[in-house]
Amino acid sequence: MSKFEPVAKAPVRIQQNILARSERRLLNWLCARLPGWVTPDQLTTLGFVGAVLVAAGYLLSWFDSEWLGLSLVGYIINWFGDSLDGSLARWRGIERPNYGYFVDHSVDALATLLMISAIGMSPYMRLDVALMAVIGYFLLSIHTFIAAKVVGEFRLSYMAGGPTELRLMLMAMTALMPIVGGRDIHGTNFSPFDLFALVVSSVLVTLFIVQTSATARMLRRRGG
């Protein structure tokens, strides 16, 4: 086999986030009721449209904080499309593992960059701080994608949290933005949301270091 050939066996999905079971029941219920003309690719596109709405809401909040409601709607649309595209393919038995894996995660990366960067371009968070959070998220994602190919495990959650919990956290933060505001804390040049994002990015980078070290030790013991 050429070293450039894709691995035939799909990685084992590991999902241990708090809402995993409830979310799976909801997704299965939705999959059973979606019209036949709805395709996974359409849902992937819909998820990205949701990300665009999220970003637009943050940018428009410079004019009026009520535009943040558009971001909240966008998060729901993004969840619907992003969570259902793969679920629908598996439900109908029409998976295209290599194509789906590549397209889904490529679109997810662009959507994440768009949404979080837009928070940094809103009145409530600095762009450099938002990009630090993006870097932390991408580092952990890189570990996940590499481990899926090297170890055969595709981990969808860390510390009992996954993409759905992250969206809910961002939605809660967005709802608090008009209430808390984006003023600096005691002349520090950081808003409360800046400090929150710095804590989150620190946790993500720490998780990347810990998980990467643990995986490297495991592979060394195996002699791989």
Map out the domains of the chain with their CATH numbers. 12-222 (1.20.120.1760)
Where b means 16+ CB within 10 Å and e means fewer, 17-54 reads: bebbeebeeebeeebeebeeeeebeebbebbbebbbbb
pTM: 0.89
Alpha helices in the chain (DSSP H): 20-33, 40-60, 68-92, 97-120, 127-150, 163-180, 192-222
Question: What amino acid is encoded at 75 in this protein?
Answer: Y
In tens digits, what is the pLDDT along the chain, a chain of 224 residues?
A: 334 444 446 677 777 778 888 888 999 999 999 999 999 999 999 999 999 999 999 999 999 999 999 999 999 999 999 999 989 998 999 988 888 889 998 999 999 999 999 999 999 999 999 999 999 999 999 998 888 888 887 787 777 778 888 999 999 999 999 999 888 887 788 999 999 999 999 999 999 999 999 989 988 888 76
